[in-house]
Amino acid sequence: MNESVAQFLVAVKANNQKRMGELWGTERGPAASSMNSDVLRQRLTVIQKYLDHTGYRIIEGPMPVPGRDELRTYRVELQRANCSQVIPIDVIRTHSGGWLVYDVHLEAAGSPVGRCQPATPATTPPPPPAPPAPPGGTRP
């Protein structure tokens, strides 16, 4: 199970859509074996953009999913340029007994362009006060 998540995230980082399609799927098997190639490419492109990372760490898992014996969930920290973000990733047991990445929970990954923003004005300390103006002068 852990290998499926690890291999998938390595493929995401390498932007290797062929390998991503072999590791992502349903209980019937990999998406690469059953999904229209154009649709698969579009979906994997989106997944790659949302899950792009410089490194990752599996924090927790595999954890059972209540009412779904075929699923397990991992909590994965995606390390990015200016921050880290923890997202759930579900894997599913295939009919042939292997494990595939099933749900990458894109809603938890944040916007691909806005997820690691610098501190907002509300959390940035105010600048130090300006020195007093010279007598009879103005500030630049």
DSSP 76-104: EEEE-SS-EEEEEEEEEE-TTS-EEEEE-
4-22, pLDDT tens digit by residue? 999 999 999 999 999 999 9
What amino acid occupies position 85? Q
Cis preceding-peptide flag for 127 (omega within 30 of 0): no
90-133, pLDDT tens digit by residue? 999 999 999 999 999 999 988 777 656 544 444 444 455 545 54
**Cα(107)–Cα(101) distance, rounded to whole angstroms?**
16
The domain 2-109 having CATH identifier 3.10.450.50: the answer here is yes
pTM for this predicted structure = 0.80
